[in-house]
Structure 1
Amino acid sequence: MPMLLRTLLRGLVLIVVLVIIGFVAQRGDLGGVFNQEWIDAHVRGPGRNGELLYLVGAALFVAFGLPRQVVSFLGGYAFGLNLGFFLALAATAMGCFISFFFARFIGRNIVSKRFPKRIKKADTFLKDNTFAMTLLIRLLPLGSNFITNLVAGVSSARAMAFITGSTIGYIPQTVIFALLGSGINLEPAFRITLSVVLFVLSAALGIYLYRRYRKNSDLNGAPQ
């Protein structure tokens, strides 16, 4: 199956699952627990404390493997598009920081034994231009954010370049899934449709850039 089609199918399945969960929580049996009134009272109501609670909790969840798209969706659902986007982006970047440095300074032996081939590939891919290559990886809606962070932490990737490239590369999907989450409570048809369109465009762009990199690598004889 072509990479673009496989990527789109996985992403669209995730979008459908999140939308279903969101509407079930909003209007179904879970509505009394996670509907907008509950969010207003327990998340938005406490003001800065609610935002801080989300930020810290989401960062820890990302650091230990929760997909960043889910965190962005929850941010948009709870706080709306604008604030939800910024909180989700900050939380995802913090989670990246935590898992990267955990692997580099604490879990090096465990990660090295678990992912030896991926670490070798990461060294080849990231060592010369960590920032640009990390940005390219993050623009691709593929793979595990958690495993990427761990493998990069053990590799020769430069920490600041990796985290900065990751944070910038996170932006497109963070916007898309925060928009998707906000669409559960406001303009659902428009926002959910726009989220799907933007996801398709971002996936196509990411794969195009990756293929262009591979083509240039082949022409220059560089390792992939």
Structure 2
Amino acid sequence: MGFRWIGLKPFAKPALLVIGLTGGALALRLLPFGDILKSHAHSHADARDIGLFVGLGALACAVGMPRQIVAFAAGYAWGVTIGASMALVAQVIGCAADLFWARWIARDFVQARLRGRALRLDRLLTTSPFISALTLRLMPVGNNLLLNLLAGVSAVPARGFLLGSAAGFIPQTVIFALLGSGSRIARATQIEIGVALFVVSTLIGVVLLLRGRRNRDELAVTMRSTG
């Protein structure tokens, strides 16, 4: 009953993202410039590097690039700990930029195009902003940009939404930073752990969704168009 209304098709895209990023990173090792990349990767990140990456990463997330790519790139370049931390900051900044742009600057523009979805999401998020945002972010499916914009034109408190989003970003940020780091050094165990954690995080998101059966219709509609 529970899993049928969620469906398995939406999970194909994130699974392919894992395979594509890991395969691409491993392929870089076979290219002529692979040694150059390796010599720069995992080098010490100074303030300029951190600021540049966080700024570009935030911009990328704000315009709709999958946040997993930002985490993977950071992990590839600086390892799991530093990479995941930098990617998480970039993701939260990008999320906040979208939310406040939609709320303060482009409310009429966004509402005119997303009115029906905004009403459904408003009912979902305003009940429990932190938990709802956390649940939606744990799911590796959907459109993060669209969710940010919808939250911006809803009545959801920005603080609860951003905190819930940040908490929900953590598992996949760490997982994709782990995959990026493991791909750079071709460490099979690290890649396997990353894939296993990806599956676990997906299952956790599904369980959280199934627990909210009272809102299951709203969640089903929302998850098909947001993430």
- For 1:132, the equivalent position in structure 2 comes to 131
- For 2:38, the equivalent position in structure 1 comes to 36
Give 1:70's aligned amino acid: I
Shift of 1:197: 0.8
The 5 A counterparts of 1:41-60 are: 44=43, 47-60=46-59
Cα distance in 1 for partners of 2:218, 2:18 equals 35
Deviations 1:160-218 (Å, cap 9, x if unpaired)?
1111110011111111101000011235211111111111111011011101112x447
Note if 1:5 corresponds to 2:8: yes
Cα contact 1:134–1:166 (8 A) shared by 2: yes
Cα distance in 1 for partners of 2:109, 2:128 equals 26
Shift of 1:22: 1.2
- For 1:27, the equivalent position in structure 2 comes to 30
Give 1:36's aligned amino acid: K
Cα contact 2:25–2:184 (8 A) shared by 1: no
Number of equivalences: 216
Shift of 1:25: 2.8
- For 1:204, the equivalent position in structure 2 comes to 203
Shift of 1:117: 1.9
Cα contact 1:127–1:156 (8 A) shared by 2: yes
- Normalised to the residue count of structure 1, the TM-score between the two structures is 0.88
Shift of 1:115: 1.5
Cα distance in 2 for partners of 1:223, 1:137 equals 12
Q: Which residues of structure 1 form unaligned runs of 5+?
A: none
Cα contact 2:130–2:164 (8 A) shared by 1: yes
Q: Which residues of structure 2 form unaligned runs of 5+?
A: 220-227
Shift of 1:9: 2.5
More moved, 11-20 vs 106-115: 106-115
Shift of 1:46: 6.4
- For 2:191, the equivalent position in structure 1 comes to 192
The 5 A counterparts of 1:69-218 are: 69-186=68-185, 188-214=187-213, 216-217=214-215
Cα distance in 2 for partners of 1:175, 1:13 equals 18
Cα distance in 2 for partners of 1:177, 1:131 equals 23
Cα RMSD, aligned residues only: 2.1
Cα contact 2:44–2:78 (8 A) shared by 1: no
- Normalised to the residue count of structure 2, the TM-score between the two structures is 0.87
Cα distance in 2 for partners of 1:118, 1:177 equals 29
Cα distance in 2 for partners of 1:46, 1:82 equals 12
Cα contact 1:22–1:184 (8 A) shared by 2: yes
